[in-house]
Amino acid sequence: MTTMRIAIAGTCGLALIISREIQEQTSHQLLILSRSPQPGLISQGYQCLTVDYNDPASIQHSLMGVDTVISTVTGTPQLRLIEAAVAQRVRRFAPAEFEGPPSLRTVSDPLNRGKADALRALQHYHGYIQSTVFTCGILYERFAPNGLAAHQIGVNSGFANEGDYVLDARNMTAQAPVYDSANNLSSLCMTSAYDVGRFVVRALDMAQWPSELTMCGERTSVSTLIETVKQCRGRQLAHVQWHNPDTLRYELTLAQLSSDVAKQTRLSALIATAEGHYDFAQPAYLNSQFPDIHPERFRDWFVRNWAGVP
C-alpha cells in the first residue's frame, strides 16, 4: 500500500483515537494539527503542528505534502481548513461529521454547528478535492459514565454530558423518543468511538471515496436500547417520559419561550432521533467492505464501561 501523509485536525478524543490507530496500525505518516502546543502528544511520538485558523498562510503551511485531511474541528476554522487544503492540492478531505446522514438534516437544524457550510464548501470545490462523510450514527460514548464529554468528544455540542441524551443510566431516568410521527418504534444506529477509528483508518487505503461512508456497531430501537440498559444495570427506571415528535416539539416550543438554550439543544437531538435522523440502511458500507472488523456490541461495551459504577 502507498504511504500517505495524513493530517488529523483537532485533538478531541475521537481525533486521538483515529491518530493512535494510524500510528499503530499503518505505515502512513501522521500529522496532528492543534490550536495550541501539544508537548504531551509529542512526548508520545506524535508529530504535531500548532495552527492559527485565522491565518490562511499558517494553515496552508501545515498542509504541505498532505494527501488526506480528517477534520474534527467545526465552524469557521473548518472552512478555512478546506480552503487551505484546496490551495495546497490536498487530495481528500473528511469533514467533522461522525453522526447521522447529512441528507436527513433539516435546513434550520439547530445541531448543525456549521457542518452544512462545510459540506457546501466541499461541494463547491468537488472538482479539486475528493471528500466523504463518515456516518456512524450515535456514539456509544454518549451513554458512558460522565457522558461523551468525559472522552473529550462533542464538548461544545450542548448535549455531551451524562444523561443529556435519551437516558441517564446512573439515576435510571429517561426522556425517550420511542415513537416516530406515524407512531412506529423509532430506531437508531450506534457505534463505539474506537470502532469508528478503526473503520476510518481502513478507509484511508480505499482507491476512491464515495460521498458518504457508513459504519455501524449496532442498529436498535430506542425502546430496546433502554431495556438493554435496564438489564445491564439490574434496575428499573425511576422515571421515564415516552415521546413522539409532536410532544417533543411542544416541549421545544416551551424551551424556546423560556430561552432555555441547553434544553432546546437536548430536545432537538431527541426530535432528530424520533424522526430517524440517526438511522440508516444495513449493512453499512464500511462493515461490508471490511468484514474482518467486528464492531463491539452495545451491551458488551456498556457492561465494560459501567462495571463497578454505583
pLDDT for residue 107: 67
Q: Does residue 233 lie in a domain region?
A: yes
Residues facing residue 103 across a β-bridge? none
How far from the centroid of its chain's Cα atoms is residue 111's Cα? 12
pLDDT for residue 110: 72
Do 225 and 177 fall into the same domain?
A: yes
Do 121 and 243 fall into the same domain?
A: no
- The C-alpha torsion from 21 through 26 and 30 to 34, rounded to 10°, is -10
Q: Does residue 100 lie in a domain region?
A: yes
Count of domains forming the chain: 2
- Report the CATH number that the domain containing residue 226 is assigned in CATH: 3.90.25
- Report the CATH number that the domain containing residue 14 is assigned in CATH: 3.40.50.720
State the distance between the two ends of the chain, measured CA to CA, in whole angstroms. 47
Do 229 and 120 fall into the same domain?
A: no
Per-residue pLDDT tens over the stretch 225-251: 999 999 999 999 999 999 999 999 999
pLDDT for residue 106: 76
Instruction: Find the domain containing 184 and state its range.
Output: 141-190+218-279+296-306
Length in residues, the chain: 310
Do 56 and 178 fall into the same domain?
A: no
Residues facing residue 31 across a β-bridge? 7
Per residue of the chain (310 residues), give pLDDT as tens.
Answer: 689 999 999 999 999 999 999 999 999 999 999 999 999 999 999 999 999 999 999 999 999 999 999 999 999 999 999 999 999 999 999 999 999 999 998 767 777 778 999 999 999 999 999 999 999 999 999 999 999 999 999 988 888 999 999 999 999 999 999 999 899 999 999 999 999 999 999 999 999 999 999 999 999 999 999 999 999 999 999 999 999 999 999 999 999 999 999 999 999 999 999 999 999 988 899 999 999 999 999 999 999 999 999 9
What beta strand segments (E) does 148-276 contain?
A: 167-168, 173-176, 187-191, 212-214, 218-221, 239-242
